[in-house]
Amino acid sequence: MATQRILDFLATRRPNGPCLVLDLDVVADNFRAFEKALPQSRIYYAVKANPAPEVLRLLASMGSSFDTASVAEIEMALDAGATADRISFGNTIKKERDIARAHELGIGLFAVDSVEEVDKIARAAPGARVFCRVLTDGEGAEWPLSRKFGCVPAMAVDVLRHARSLGLDAYGVSFHVGSQQCDLSAWDRALGDAKRVFATLANEGIVLKMVNMGGGFPTRYLKDVPVAQAYGQAIFEALSKHFGNNIPETIIEPGRGMVGNAGVIKSEVVLISKKADNDNVRWVFLDIGKFGGLAETMDEAIRYPISTVHDGSETAPCVLAGPTCDSADVMYEKTPYPLPLSLTIGDEVLIEGTGAYTTTYSSVAFNGFEPLRSYVI
């Protein structure tokens, strides 16, 4: 996944220390693939996945809309050239003063999952459109979401009814099938839930207009994943099945699927050692770890492809750890990672598929290590 442009950049620029290099051509290809796969859906890029200004400007210029989590992300999207009508405030947890600020900036589309949040929006952004997030079971996702966001469908009906009663535009329903979702039927189950909310409210004269199908579109790490086209097909079939000829406006919010495979982290082997003479597992320590950008290795959830100059030669399992004095800063231990036996201290390694959820997860300065640098090319 390291493109020739990334390899050329690293070969000529030779940046010192760990860094992410992100290839905008791949982002552009991904955007076009989503457009082609889901031609009827509006694409709201999940800014939190990678808010680099170059990425936001590219996507704004290609016609993308933006899913934002905070006032700061709204401002970044505006700075990148998006108009306010192309920005959604997609966090269900918002301070009332942040809602008011978003309203001032012209934002008119807000996520909710509780009557309490609806109350805030009614006060701070009167008349706005709101969509209510419903809980899904997350089955089939490599990283199922917790119950943090969303409410059960029956409560979503109450929430949207309450929104209407306070003069808001009860606009639709959203869901998220779980991150890195590889089971295409997950969208079918969630769309079934969404349709039931539509139907119940329609009986009361409240006509919802939109389904926000969230993210969950996977990027390729070590295993092959279905291509965007397969998702598009499965989603279109599920929409037709549940909504018939009356398919609502739809939104998707790819983050990882838009930028994950566009980035590569260059790292250096700091130490290779053993804990005892009779250990058969080497410990390999890199100059980047859980606190320097690889937070998603938490619980060994995401297993990044790693390439070295010795690839093709004999490998053996390693525990892979980061450079900090923190014993939790270990990426892969329960399932050791196979790396070449000839790997040496000082070698460069490329951690692939790291364009999403790396730079901004990076800690400010834990152990005195600077945050992950990023080059967008």
CB of 231 to its own copies, least distance (A): 20
Among 39, 203, 277, 312, binds its own copies (CB under 8 A): 277
Cα four-point dihedral sign 153, 157, 160, 166? negative
Assign 45 to helix, strand or coil: strand
Which of positions 159-188 make contact with its own copies (CB under 8 A)?
179
CB of 244 to its own copies, least distance (A): 29
Query: Among residues 166, 244, 163, which one has the least CA distance to residue 208?
Result: 163
CB of 259 to its own copies, least distance (A): 15
What's the CA gap between 26 and 251, in Å, rounded? 22
Which of positions 332-361 make contact with its own copies (CB under 8 A)?
333, 345-346, 359-361
**Residue 140 binds its own copies, judged by CB under 8 A:** no
- To which H or E segment does residue 264 belong? strand 263-273
Which of positions 50-69 make contact with its own copies (CB under 8 A)?
51, 68-69
Q: How far is CA 71 from the centre of its chain?
A: 18
**Residue 123 binds its own copies, judged by CB under 8 A:** no
**Residue 316 binds its own copies, judged by CB under 8 A:** no
What's the CA gap between 133 and 164, in Å, rounded? 16
For 91-133, the DSSP string reads -S---HHHHHHHHHTT--EEEESSHHHHHHHHHHSTT-EEEEE
Closer of 71 and 239 to its own copies (Cβ): 71
**Residue 132 binds its own copies, judged by CB under 8 A:** no
Of 197-205, 217-225, 264-272, 307-315, the window that binds its own copies (rule: CB under 8 A) is 264-272
**Residue 151 binds its own copies, judged by CB under 8 A:** yes
For residue 299, the tally of other CB atoms under 10 A from its CB is: 8
CB of 299 to its own copies, least distance (A): 9
**Residue 155 binds its own copies, judged by CB under 8 A:** yes
- Mark whether 151 is an active-site residue: no
Residue count of the chain = 377
CB of 13 to its own copies, least distance (A): 18
Query: Among residues 32, 38, 80, 72, which one has the least CA distance to residue 55?
Result: 80
Which of positions 72-91 make contact with its own copies (CB under 8 A)?
72-73, 76, 90-91
Residue positions annotated with a catalytic role: 325
